[in-house]
Structure 1
Amino acid sequence: MDLVYNLLVVLHLLGWAIVLGGTLVNLRTPKIATGVLHGILTALVTGILIVGIASAGLAGHDPNTTKIAVKLVVALVVATLVILGVRKPSRVTTGYLGAIAGLTALNVAIAVLWR
């Protein structure tokens, strides 16, 4: 089960990398790249699976539920912004993309720095 857990962590990180990269690439011509939607959905699903496996004691360590709750809220805000931006591209501005990129960086920072 450790292998599955570690593969999910890799997919989770790749999902966030797609969100950040796709957002930063389109800052000059504000639009949401198709990959950004897929990236955030990948990050959300794999994150939930990672926490489920860790909480069940099958692999990893016992998760900090407060940290996970904060990360989930940030991820849901990013997902909402991405979905709304895909549905109505006219609302996407440089600031809108900056918010997505900033919240993505915040989520990564919480994962790494919060002990």
Structure 2
Amino acid sequence: MELLKNVLVVLHLIGWAIVLGGTLVNLRTPRIATGVLHGALTALVTGILIVGVSEMSDELRDPNMAKIGVKLVIALVVTALVVVGQRRPEKVTTGFLGAIAGLTALNVAIAVLWR
């Protein structure tokens, strides 16, 4: 079970890396890169699976549901922004991409710093 959780964490981090990298690369010419949606969905789904695996395992500590709730809301907002940016490319500005990048960095920071 621990191996599965670790594989999911790696995929989760790769998903967020795709979102952050794809967003930062396109700041000069504001647009949503094609892989950003896939990265956001990968991070969202693997995050949910990580919580499920953690709940099923016999770990001594229970997952922090407040932290998970905050991270889920941020992930849903990032995913929604990416979907809107892909469907309405004329709305994508540097600020729009900055919001995606900032929320992605915030989500990673919450994962690391909230104990």
What's the TM-score bracket when you normalise by the shorter of the two chains?
over 0.9
Q: Return closer, same or farther for 1:59/1:36 CA change in 2, 3 Å cut-off.
A: farther
1:44 aligns with 2:40: no
1:9 is the counterpart of 2:26 = no
Q: Deviations over 1:42-66 (max 9, x none)?
A: 0000000000010122569521000
TM-score (norm 2): 0.96
SS in structure 2 at match of 1:10: helix
Equivalence map 1:64-103=2 (5 Å): 64-103=64-103
- 1:21 — aligned with what? 21
Kept after mapping to 2: 8 A contact 1:2/1:60: no
Contact residue 53 and residue 59 of structure 1 kept, 8 A = no
Say if 1:36 and 1:107 are closer, same or farther in 2 by CA, change over 3 A.
same
Unaligned runs of 5+ in 2: none
**Moved beyond 6 Å, runs of 4+:** none
CA distance in 2, matches of 1:98, 1:56: 37
1: CA distance, partners of 2:18 / 2:96? 17
CA shift, 1:111, in A, is: 0.3
Shift of the 60–35 alpha-carbon distance from structure 1 to 2, 3 Å rule, reads farther
Q: What is the alpha-carbon distance in structure 1 between the residues aligned to residue 61 and residue 23 of structure 2?
A: 32
Instruction: Compare 56-65 and 1-10 and name the one that shifted more.
Output: 56-65
Scaled by the length of structure 1, the TM-score of the pair is 0.96
Q: Which runs of 5+ in 1 are unaligned?
A: none
